[in-house]
Amino acid sequence: MSALAQIIDLKTADVNTAEADTQQELTDGFHLVIDALKLNGVTTIYGVPGIPITDLGRMAQAEGMRVISFRHEQNAGNAAAIAGFLTKKPGVCLTVSAPGFLNGLTALANATTNCFPMILISGSSEREIVDLQQGDYEEMDQLAIAKPLCKAAFRVLHAADIGIAVARAIRAAVSGRPGGVYLDLPAKLLSQVIAAETGARSLVKVIDAAPAQLPAPSAIKRALDLLTKAKRPLIVLGKGAAYAQADDAIRALVEQSGIPYVPMSMAKGLLPDTHPLSAGAARSTALKDSDVVLLIGARLNWLLSHGKGKTWGEPGSKKFIQIDIEPREMDSNVEIVAPVVGDIGSCVQALLDAMGGRWPTPPSEWIDALKARREANIAKMAPRLAKNSSPMDFHGALGALRTVIRERPDAILVNEGANTLDLARGIIDMYQPRKRLDVGTWGVMGIGMGFAVAAAVETGKPVLAVEGDSAFGFSGMEVETICRYKLPVCIVVFNNNGIYRGTDVNPTGGEDVATTVFVADSRYDKMIEAFGGVGYNVTTPDELSRAVNEAMDSGKPTLINAVIDPAAGTESGNIGSLNPQSVVKKKK
């Protein structure tokens, strides 16, 4: 072949290759993120659109995913977090860079502290500009900031790595002790183009993301030896027990053993609060007088007085058995005599299997003592709950809502505030698992509307959100989100004109109101009416009961302004001891 012919052949080959390239199907980072999530069963994204992730949300919706857009990233993040708790799959929150990322980070840290599986996906600035600190749009080293506040954090720089990054994020979020994961997606990544076939091969479907972790037989034997010899045994159920969804096994353990139990707030309903073995209404006596305590998915943190102090009686008066998937949780505050490490479902089932139904009956003196205390406390509280005064106090209003939940056990209760939260925990009985959602381990305010949206979206059940007026202010603008998506959410704002109470005064006598006081006689119900929802203003428990029932029957977005006596309430609710008071008087 002549040199000229060879040149012609080479040019022809180049043309054919170029034509083949132009005909090859391509994909990009946007589509690969969506494909990776869908492959792993993620069907809903919570977030706030903006640069550089606006098109990611649009495309996800076009691909059949449900994209719930919020008014603030923290509320979207809270929604994703509680979606993880309800489903045992990581809830996904999508935010813009820098400020939007920081807004979502509060929810991510809270999810990690509460052991809720969640993935925060944020767009970010380009690495080469951030690393040289050259002043990019919303420049921030988001990965470095996120790492200390979540369970794991990853950054993706190449489109071909998106599949493995999403898989790692999912596995990290749900395996072992669940928590929050951060996924950093620089803007340039999203528009990267690769061959569609290559992209498809890069996707990873996570297999057995949260494998069972079986307890050691010796640990089960040690726990049972202690439990079966106890004179005053007690079970404490934490929200980890609710998350585990080992409902039948936990109920069997309680009922076969005959051991009384105390549920932490988000574990209420694993067994009905009206169950004969429930010691919730005799909590103080149960904790103080027990001699062996089995903790199931509960941590000895501040919510349980760290396992010591007057809450638990005399030092050394009790021994603890703890079931937890995290070995480092053991001995965190006091000695755990019988640690049982493994997932809750496997551990509880192992206890049941080892006993084979041959449980010794706890001494009747112990059972009778708790029963007597429970009945006395319930009888003492009854007149306060039945009070139909105007303006309402917290007990009368919560007594009305207690009846609503009893008649609608399938409804989901979201609850936050100070007095509104603390009193509702003890007053409103729950009857089914994972129906009570509240502020959890950190006790943070502002989870209300995010939790309410996700509860409605993920379960399709009616939601009753009971909010203190201060707590509602953190996320109140999301009533527009609730109306926009036509969600069956009824919000009740306990309005006593301020934080704790609405009666404080400015000590200087100046024009500014006291630091804890809001605008008097505000009409929160008018907010939801502005967005097409239904508003009520009520002043008595009877009016409150009628309004809530009408709202939940209708399934329409509703906000009820419940007028509470401004003098009702105590400083910081039931945890006033955590709010230090100055003992030094300034000299004049």
The residue out of 202, 227, 246 marking a domain boundary is 202
Question: How many CB atoms are closer than 10 A to CB 370?
Answer: 25
Encode pLDDT of 414-430 as tens digits.
Answer: 999 999 999 999 999 99
Encode pLDDT of 531-575 as tens digits.
Answer: 999 999 999 999 999 999 999 999 999 999 999 999 998 887 777
Lowest mean pLDDT segment, chosen from 115-119, 231-235, 271-275, 508-512: 508-512
Question: What pLDDT was estimated at residue 24?
Answer: 84
pLDDT bracket for residue 436 (50, 70, 90): very high
The residue out of 202, 237, 272 marking a domain boundary is 202
156 and 48: one domain? Answer: yes
Residue 12 lies in a domain: no
The residue out of 172, 202, 232 marking a domain boundary is 202
93 and 240: one domain? Answer: no
Encode pLDDT of 242-251 as tens digits.
Answer: 999 999 999 9
The candidate with the shortest Cα–Cα distance to 501, out of 567, 561, 564, is: 567
396 and 484: one domain? Answer: yes
- Average pLDDT over every residue of 202-223: 98
Q: Characterize the bridge pairing of strands 193-195 and 26-28.
A: antiparallel
105 and 32: one domain? Answer: yes
- Tokens of residue 308, six digits: 């010591």
Lowest mean pLDDT segment, chosen from 206-210, 349-353, 542-546, 581-585: 581-585
For residue 501, what are the domain limits?
387-573
CATH of residue 295: 3.40.50.1220
Collapsing DSSP to helix, strand or coil, 287 comes out as helix
Backbone angles phi, psi at 92, to 5 degrees: -115, 130
Question: What pLDDT was estimated at residue 472?
Answer: 98
270 and 410: one domain? Answer: no
Residue 3 has pLDDT above 90, yes or no: no
135 and 107: one domain? Answer: yes
- Angle (CA) 551 557 559, round 5°: 70
- Average pLDDT over every residue of 133-159: 94
Question: What pLDDT was estimated at residue 117?
Answer: 98
Residue 2 has pLDDT above 80, yes or no: no
409 and 534: one domain? Answer: yes
pLDDT bracket for residue 296 (50, 70, 90): very high
CATH of residue 53: 3.40.50.970
364 and 230: one domain? Answer: yes
168 and 243: one domain? Answer: no
Percent of the chain scoring above 70 in pLDDT: 95
Q: Characterize the bridge pairing of strands 436-438 and 152-155.
A: unpaired
The domain tally of the chain equals 3
466 and 427: one domain? Answer: yes
Residue 329 lies in a domain: yes
**What is the Cα Rg of the chain in Å?**
27
- Average pLDDT over every residue of 493-505: 94
pLDDT bracket for residue 7 (50, 70, 90): very low
Q: How far apart are CA 349 and CA 583, in angstroms?
A: 53
**Is pLDDT larger for residue 542 or for residue 579?**
542
Percent of the chain scoring above 90 in pLDDT: 89
Residue 250 lies in a domain: yes
179 and 262: one domain? Answer: no
Complete DSSP assignment for 545-571: HHHHHHHHHHT--EEEEEEB-TT---T
Asked if 455 contacts 127 with a C-beta cutoff of 8 angstroms, the reply is: no
Residue 576 has pLDDT above 90, yes or no: no
Q: How far apart are CA 474 and CA 561, in angstroms?
A: 16
156 and 44: one domain? Answer: yes
